[in-house]
Amino acid sequence: MLYTVVYEDTIVAYWDKLFEIKEKLEFSVYLDGKEIAKTKKTHYEYRNLTAETEYTISIIAKGVGSDFYQVIGEKKITTPKRRKRIDVTKAPYFAVGDGKTLNTLALQKAFDDCKAGETVYFPKGVYVSGSLTMHSDTELYLDKDAILQGSTDITDYLPKVKTRFEGIDRMCYSALLKVGEMDAYGDCTTKNITIRGGGKIVGGGQELYVSVVKAELELQKDELDKDVNFNMVMETNLACITRLRPCLIEINNTENIYISDVEMNYGPAWNLHITYSKNIVIQGCAFRSFGVWNGDGFDPDSCENCDLFGCEFETGDDAIAVKSGKNPEGNIINRPCKNLKIFDIYGRNGISLGSEMSGGIENVWIWDCKMENSCNCIATKVTAKRGGYVRNVFVYDVEGPTITLRNVTFNNDGDGSSVAPTVENFYFENIILTGVKGLYNEVGEEIAPVMILGGDEKCTFKNITFKNIGIKRMPDGRYQELQIRNLSGITLDNIYTL
């Protein structure tokens, strides 16, 4: 099936991998009946188009060295008219892109003035700001040399707002860019949000992270010293405090989210956190947070229908972490994260499913990803008291250091669920594993290329298939060993050494 996202000057086309076809394929890209490109990827951007113009696009799969031929899809598409642009540097806003001036009030006025179908436009420059709010039916467009730069002053992210962080709804510092009001039991109340243009959104990074921790330790010092229950519930004082950090971009209860061709860098917490939302497409983006502790790239949290592709990650923690809440609150809210497609991503630090998965994670498709220079490849993380499930995960043509499905002991606070977690129905095919954690150009730590470490009878791991799995030898020629325990039903088909 052929899927599209349409802008006035660009059509983003993408399609599912033909998993049943085992030969090598190449895709021919057509525009108005003329072949304009070939690609081995399952997506393509038609650029430099004209607004309010009808185009016919089609994609055809062809065998490399064979006569295989299959039409992926064909569509007639009319590009929309050009949006009215609100230039943040013009009257009445007069934002200054000098990398010094604080522009929060001017930029927020531009977002507030932006009507449905209009665009808040950032020309070249570095625009320093505190927390900003986008509204329904609007677009943020950052020119290639434009940067929305978050300040490092914690007061620019007040007042605190309701957020879910590490599985629990709580009051946190406000994100640099926020969309929607969070409601764990409500539907989407914000819709049609677009962020694109080629520029960057950059947070306060580790400096802002440290400032938040210092300020909150001082504000809560009496409670931290005296409340024993506080310490027990939150694992450690520091763990509690760090969970108040703001994300770079926070999107809640929003339908139809499109993010294309932007960099999202150095949030003091996670770079992009989307919660209780649906119909999400993220394409051609970069996520950077290396050096920021717990600096995830993208965290879809109790979301549905999310496609992410053609993205680069260089993160301080998980590149992608799929979540659905923590026990016991996540069990009660019971909103799964489901129907995700993740493909053609590269960089570090791998894809994690959990550990916050008390609402369930299901129907995840991953293909054509290269994460060899990484700490993991695909990791499923549960704790024995989490509840919930991770099921129906399908992974094809991926390279990385290790695949792990395991019980973990960290992030393990909260009352236990009455129902044990389940990890089931995983399928891995055509995978290359190094058994070495990547540390850029340095020699990394050795790790088992496959680790399936189930818990006791309270935590069920079952129905796991590995097919055509290549495992590299160590540099000194040693063979590597798989670590598998406490698992019901595993298929190993053609596990070979490279």
191, 322: one domain:
no
pLDDT tens profile 201-218: 999 999 999 999 888 888
Distance between CA atoms of residues 89 and 79, nearest Å: 28
Confidence of residue 222 (pLDDT cuts 50, 70, 90): low
DSSP secondary structure string for all residues of 457-484: TTSEEEEEEEEEEEEPPPTTS-----EE
- On the question of pLDDT at 4 being above 90, the answer is yes
70, 101: one domain:
no
Give the CA angle between residues 415, 420, 424 to the nearest 5°.
135
**This prediction's pTM:** 0.94
295 domain residue, yes or no: no
Distance between CA atoms of residues 57 and 221, nearest Å: 61
Confidence of residue 224 (pLDDT cuts 50, 70, 90): low
Q: Which of 213, 244, 277 is the last residue of a domain?
A: 277
104, 210: one domain:
yes
Mean pLDDT computed over 346-368? 94
* pLDDT at residue 383 in the model: 87
Confidence of residue 237 (pLDDT cuts 50, 70, 90): low
pLDDT tens profile 87-128: 999 999 999 999 999 999 999 999 999 999 999 999 999 999
* pLDDT at residue 284 in the model: 98
299 domain residue, yes or no: no
* pLDDT at residue 442 in the model: 56
Mean pLDDT computed over 443-456? 83
Residue 68 lies in domain: 2-78
371, 405: one domain:
yes
191, 151: one domain:
yes
Mean pLDDT computed over 457-475? 89
Mean pLDDT computed over 435-444? 69
408 domain residue, yes or no: yes
Percent of the chain with pLDDT over 90: 77
Distance between CA atoms of residues 348 and 287, nearest Å: 10
265, 359: one domain:
no
Cross-strand bridge partners of residue 340: 306, 364
CA 151 to chain centre: 23
Q: Which of 36, 63, 78 is the last residue of a domain?
A: 78
414, 265: one domain:
no
56, 151: one domain:
no
135, 99: one domain:
yes
CB within 8 Å of 476: residues ≥ 6 apart: none
262, 359: one domain:
no
304 domain residue, yes or no: no
CATH number of domain containing 67: 2.60.40.10
Distance between CA atoms of residues 164 and 329, nearest Å: 11
Looking at 79-166, which runs of residues are DSSP E strands? 85-87, 98-102, 119-122, 125-129, 132-134, 138-142, 146-150, 161-165
300 domain residue, yes or no: no
- On the question of pLDDT at 243 being above 50, the answer is yes
pLDDT tens profile 22-34: 899 999 999 999 9
Higher pLDDT, 290 or 151: 151
The total domain count for the chain is 3
